[in-house]
């Protein structure tokens, strides 16, 4: 961290954190104007937003205060040198936790802050106008226990593709490629969660329930428990756009961009996931189309922003003791430099 005149320091804020902060500040403004007037019960939404904002800043304060120092073996600051690489890993992967906080800040009735009623009728009408039918109802003719088991398995695998591709990039590609993917993920979640606020909908599973005549029965009890857990963990209104489609498409784009082989391997699994969102009656076809449009737009926007604003820097007051150097200057390069050197040793897939 660069020392500036008058006891100020250059504070570095990562782009992925700045994108998440944009969502939290917008949402906090909505809560201030609407939620805190007592018109709606938002549950833990306000607390989750504040946790997100405070956590983003505290994470960077800890990073700035406890890293980029010079140490000597046996010095009192040796524990910091030992802890820094592990803290760097936590810092790199923290966007996953941030996304969870963003998602669960919409729990309860928070999605009715801007639009006070569900928009399922609008989405049903849009499907009818664009496609001439309700896809989840039309797919009933293909329902079988074996296919339902596969669809529920494909739907649940959504949670695995993200760390799988991110882990491969983290281990075998330059560090900037991993961070670029993190920016894309936070970006697509920002716009997706705003979609939940502006177009709240419960999905066809509830709104079209009277039209379903064939039950979704699967062979495997384990897959049924997996699906039940995911239903329990969901917020109430998360239909438009389909984040299963948007996030999986974005992950597939980053996978294909970094490894053509990995992109081809994931292709049938990703497409199966898209089909499952309609087959299992979670989403309207319009939701899926919106996700397919949103993902490449966020991919391009995140890449453009990352190339220009990798890190956002601004001066802040900084206490004198936080800038002290431990041990003999130059005795050992900073851990951040070591990490950068290691990150350069990328390997092909």
What is the pLDDT at residue 17?
86
Ramachandran quadrant class, 316 (left: phi over 0; alpha: psi -120 to 50; beta: rest): beta
Q: Are the CB atoms for 185 and 299 separated by under 8 Å?
A: no
Q: How far is CA 190 from CA 20, 162, 283, 311, in A?
A: 7, 16, 19, 19
Alpha helices by DSSP H, listed for the chain, are 15-33, 45-66, 78-104, 120-131, 135-138, 145-156, 158-172, 175-198, 204-207, 221-233, 243-258, 260-279, 285-308, 335-343
Q: Tokens in use for 340?
A: 């950068």
The b/e string for 36-73 (b: 16+ C-beta within 10 A; e otherwise) is eeeebebbebbebbeebbebbeebbeebbbbbbbbbbe
What one-character DSSP code corresponds to residue 9?
Answer: E
Q: How many whole angstroms separate alpha carbon 92 and alpha carbon 86?
A: 10
pLDDT in single tens digits along all 349 residues of the chain: 444 455 566 667 788 888 888 888 888 888 778 755 444 444 555 556 666 666 666 666 666 555 544 434 445 455 556 566 777 788 888 888 888 888 888 877 778 888 889 999 999 999 999 999 999 999 999 999 889 989 988 888 888 899 999 999 998 888 899 999 999 999 999 999 999 999 999 999 999 999 999 888 766 666 666 666 666 667 888 889 999 999 999 999 999 999 999 999 999 999 999 999 999 999 999 999 999 999 999 999 999 999 888 777 766 565 554 444 434 444 334 434 434 444 444 555 5
- Taking Cα atoms as reference points, which of 240, 231, 97 lies closest to residue 162? 97
Q: How many whole angstroms separate alpha carbon 324 and alpha carbon 13?
A: 21
């Amino acid at each position: 961290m660069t020392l500036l005149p008058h006891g100020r320091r250059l504070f570095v804020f990562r782009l992925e954190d700045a994108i998440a902060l944009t969502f939290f500040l917008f949402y906090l403004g909505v809560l201030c104007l609407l939620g805190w007037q007592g018109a709606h019960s938002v549950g833990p939404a306000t607390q989750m937003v504040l946790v997100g904002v405070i956590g983003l800043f505290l994470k960077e304060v800890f990073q700035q205060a406890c890293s980029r120092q010079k140490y000597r073996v046996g010095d009192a600051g040796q524990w910091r040198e030992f802890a820094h690489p592990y803290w760097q890993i936590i810092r790199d992967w923290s966007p996953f936790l941030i996304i969870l906080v963003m998602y669960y800040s919409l729990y309860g009735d928070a999605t009715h802050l801007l639009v006070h009623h569900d928009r399922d009728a609008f989405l049903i009408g849009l499907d009818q106008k664009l496609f001439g039918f309700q896809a989840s109802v039309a797919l009933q003719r293909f329902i079988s226990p074996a296919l339902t088991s596969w669809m529920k398995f494909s739907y649940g695998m959504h949670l695995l593709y993200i760390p799988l591709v991110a882990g491969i990039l983290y281990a075998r590609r330059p560090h900037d490629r991993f961070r670029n993917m993190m920016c894309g993920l936070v970006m697509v979640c920002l716009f997706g969660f705003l979609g939940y606020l502006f177009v709240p909908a419960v999905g066809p599973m509830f709104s079209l329930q009277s039209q379903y005549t064939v039950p979704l029965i699967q062979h495997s009890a384990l897959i049924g428990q997996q699906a039940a857990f995911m239903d329990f963990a969901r917020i109430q209104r998360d239909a438009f756009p389909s984040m299963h489609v948007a996030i999986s498409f974005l992950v597939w784009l980053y996978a294909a961009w970094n490894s053509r082989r990995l992109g081809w391997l994931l292709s049938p699994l990703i497409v199966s996931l898209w089909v499952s969102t309609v087959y299992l009656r979670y989403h309207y076809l319009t939701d899926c189309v919106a996700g397919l449009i949103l993902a490449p737009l966020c991919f391009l926007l995140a890449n453009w922003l990352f190339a220009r604003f990798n890190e956002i820097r601004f001066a802040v007051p900084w206490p004198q003791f936080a800038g002290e150097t431990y041990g003999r200057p130059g005795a050992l390069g900073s851990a951040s430099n070591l990490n950068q050197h290691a990150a350069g040793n990328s390997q092909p897939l």
